[in-house]
A and B are shown apart, each in its own frame.
Chain A
């Protein structure tokens, strides 16, 4: 037997509670599989935020539009990395592409991903930036000029017909994009929800809960990025925009929380045979990550914080800085909360024995391809990609100009 594995198992053994089957000691879907739904959730959420502007015409959040599209793209590019790295032989992943398996629910991710990347996100970003790319290229020299021209597919047509087509295409893509974003993350939820042998996962509500938690995490992340990037690059945060985005975030958190509550009540009322071991797991192994981080710090506290700003904004003219701080803390807490949600779903589902008589434990490795370091790297990678994307497709004009105009208006009113 592999001595290293034996050593790990020996460390885990004393932490096992009750009776479990021998093959349940080791948790196979580890940290990388926690990172994967977290990242795809952000993609779907950021896209839904972008579609608020285009489909539902919420003009206040216009400064977030391009930022959220680029965020979605940056995170989407990293999403499959987590999955590929989790394979036993990551270097053989191309074989999946050569011999596609159309009857495997897991292999469906490739199709869903390809559709979302090629038919929705890239197209939308291209149509949004096409005229800008042409304009930028005209005033540039060297490599950047070539990059922008190439990205515009060497188009120079900024005529009425072309621009009108851009607008029309954008509308259609966004409308197609909303169900596609739902499909992307709903699919991730479906993968868990359809595992009928696992009572922690097997629930028709899981895809829906995933969707709303995706919206929560995506919207919160874009707000966070906006609140960090804007002052760092010398701009001014447009509070009307942030207020409106926080409004949507607030409702999304409420819906997400209610759905999870419904799921919880449903489980408790049904009280099927697994309820005893699940409640023991929630009260012991998942106590900190589920009750403290996910529910208390990740949902109830941000809800309370945002509610306070909503209640006292008018009555006490809460200062803008204080509101900013409250929002900032809330969106960070929500990020941790949603990450804990993914953790609780993925790790929680493997912690209890199928005998319903015992609990195993999960120890995160530090190094290695399934380790903490690699997971942190994966979570940081989209930020680097986003920085590169913002260099190539700068969203500053939109983020700034509207910001400046709106702040003047707010200051005047």
Chain B
């Protein structure tokens, strides 16, 4: 020790001692004090898996539900809720499968439940059934009109607005208010019952809009429509790249 202090300047010698002491203490803690399993990644992974798999199982899975409630299961399988698991609405049901008489799963009857998915929200996909919970048959429980295992509108919708409410509301205050949806979209009757399988058409070319907005338009409703020369206006673009058809702006 004395030699060390002679050989190096005093501060350096002390730092070396401290450094060596820290390394020794660290090594002692790491190699001697801490038991090996704590340092071994494999053992930790094993423990983590064991820990996770030891947690109580709460969900039974839909196969378990189908064993007793086969009729409901068959109904649901064909309806729009086919991709939902039973426990999505009824809650974890493992306890119910073990003791069906005393433990009963939840039946969500309150009106606040269904709007969690079906309240109007612009981030939901277009065509997904969405309602305004305040205006839609106030106070009536959802299940009084819709069977949750095979949900459908109680009557086939007559108006497009029944499903496409947002578009209908936009169009209602636009310059296209007088146009029926079917003026631009050819809609097969079957779209109303199988909305995803059978889809209405959409206009495909510039000439379609030109029927009313072209220079020489002769369509019935075109009298007051703003006119453009299709050959010059908008170059190579199709109309809806600049104008939103459900709420077309008007140049003053």
Q: When each residue 90-114 of chain A gets 1 if its CB lies under 8 Å from chain B and 0 otherwise, what string results?
A: 0000010011000000000000000
Of all chain A residues, the one with the shortest Cβ separation from B12 is A165
Q: Is B103 an interface residue (CB 8 A)?
A: no
Is A358 in contact with B123, judged by CB distance below 8 angstroms?
yes
Q: Does A157 contact B (CB under 8 A)?
A: yes
Nearest to A10 among chain B residues (CB) is B116
CB distance from B30 to the nearest CB of A (A): 8
Q: For residue B250, give the distance in angstroms from its CB to the closest CB of chain A.
A: 25
Number of A-B contacts (CB under 8 A): 48
Is B39 in contact with A99, judged by CB distance below 8 angstroms? yes
Contact bitstring B1-45, A, C-beta under 8 A = 1, else 0:
000000001111011011000000000000000100011010010
Cβ-defined contact, A98 with B34, below 8 A:
yes
Q: Measured between C-beta atoms, what is the minimum distance from B55 to chain A in Å?
A: 15
A164 to B12, CA, bound (A): 11
Interface presence of B170 (CB below 8 A): no
Q: Contact check, B18 vs A99: say whether CB atoms are below 8 A apart.
A: no
Q: How far is the CA of A154 from the CA of B14 in the complex (A)?
A: 9
Tell me which residues across on chain B come within 8 A of A123, comparing CB atoms: 15
Chain B residues touching A, range:
10 to 19
Counting CB contacts under 8 A, is B85 at the interface?
no
Task: Spot the interface stretch: A11-19, A36-44, A228-236, A307-315.
Answer: A11-19
Residue from the list B9, B18, B122 in contact with A161, Cβ < 8 A: B9
Is there a chain A Cβ closer than 8 Å to B121's Cβ? yes
Interface of B is mostly: helix
Chain A residues with CB below 8 A from B12, complex form: 165, 169
CB distance from B35 to the nearest CB of A (A): 11
B residues 112-136 in Cβ contact with A at 8 Å: 121-123
A19, A99, A153: the one contacting B41 at CB < 8 Å is: A99
Note all chain A residues with C-beta closer than 8 A to B123.
16, 18-20, 358
- Residue pair A162, B122 in contact (C-beta under 8 Å): no
Q: A16-B123, A165-B9 are in contact. Are A153 and B39 (CB under 8 A)?
A: no
Q: Knowing A98-B34, A98-B38, A98-B39, say if A130 contacts B11 (CB, 8 Å).
A: yes
Contact A162 B121 (CB under 8 A): no
Given A159-B10, A161-B9, the answer on whether A153 and B15 have CB atoms closer than 8 Å is: yes
A166 at the interface (CB under 8 A from B): yes
Interface string of B41-58 (1 = CB under 8 A from A): 100100000000000000
B39 cross-chain contacts in A, Cβ below 8 A: 98-99
Determine the distance from Cα of A298 to Cα of B14 in the docked complex, in whole angstroms: 46
Residues A18 and B11 in contact, CB atoms below 8 Å apart? no
Q: Which of A126, A153, A159 counts the most chain B CB atoms within 10 A?
A: A153
* Shortest distance between the CB of A93 and any CB in chain B (Å): 14
Interface centre among B9, B12, B15, B17 (most CB of A within 10 A): B9
> Bound complex: CA of A154 vs CA of B15, how far in Å?
11
Q: Inside 8 A of A358's CB, which chain B residues have their CB?
A: 123
> A157 and B10: CB pair below 8 A?
yes
CA distance A89 to B58 in the complex (A): 23
- Does A153 lie within 8 Å of B9, measured CB to CB? no
Contact with B along A113-144 (1 / 0, CB 8 A): 00000000001001100100000000000000
Interchain CA distance A95-B37 in the complex, whole Å: 12
Q: Which of A13, A19, A98, A165 contacts B11 (CB 8 A)?
A: A165
B10 contacts A162, CB within 8 Å? yes
Contacts of A127 in B (CB 8 A): 11
| Nearest A residue to B18, CB-CB | A153
Q: Is A155 an interface residue (CB 8 A)?
A: yes
Is A166 within 8 A of B44, CB to CB?
A: no
Interface centre among B34, B39, B122 (most CB of A within 10 A): B122
Using A13-B121, A19-B122, A358-B123 as known contacts, say yes or no to A155 and B34 having CB atoms under 8 A apart. Answer: no
Residue of A nearest to B14 (CB): A153
Contacts of A154 in B (CB 8 A): 14
Give the distance in Å from the alpha carbon of A130 to the alpha carbon of B10 in the complex: 11
Residue picked from B34, B39, B123, most chain A C-beta under 10 Å: B123
Knowing A98-B38, A99-B39, say if A155 contacts B122 (CB, 8 Å). no
Q: Which residues of B contact A (CB under 8 A)?
A: 9-12, 14-15, 17-18, 34, 38-39, 41, 44, 121-123
Task: Pick 25 A–B contacts, CB within 8 A, sort by A.
Answer: A18-B123, A19-B123, A20-B123, A98-B34, A99-B41, A126-B15, A127-B11, A153-B14, A153-B15, A153-B17, A153-B18, A154-B14, A155-B10, A155-B14, A157-B10, A157-B11, A159-B10, A162-B10, A164-B9, A165-B10, A165-B11, A165-B12, A166-B11, A169-B12, A358-B123
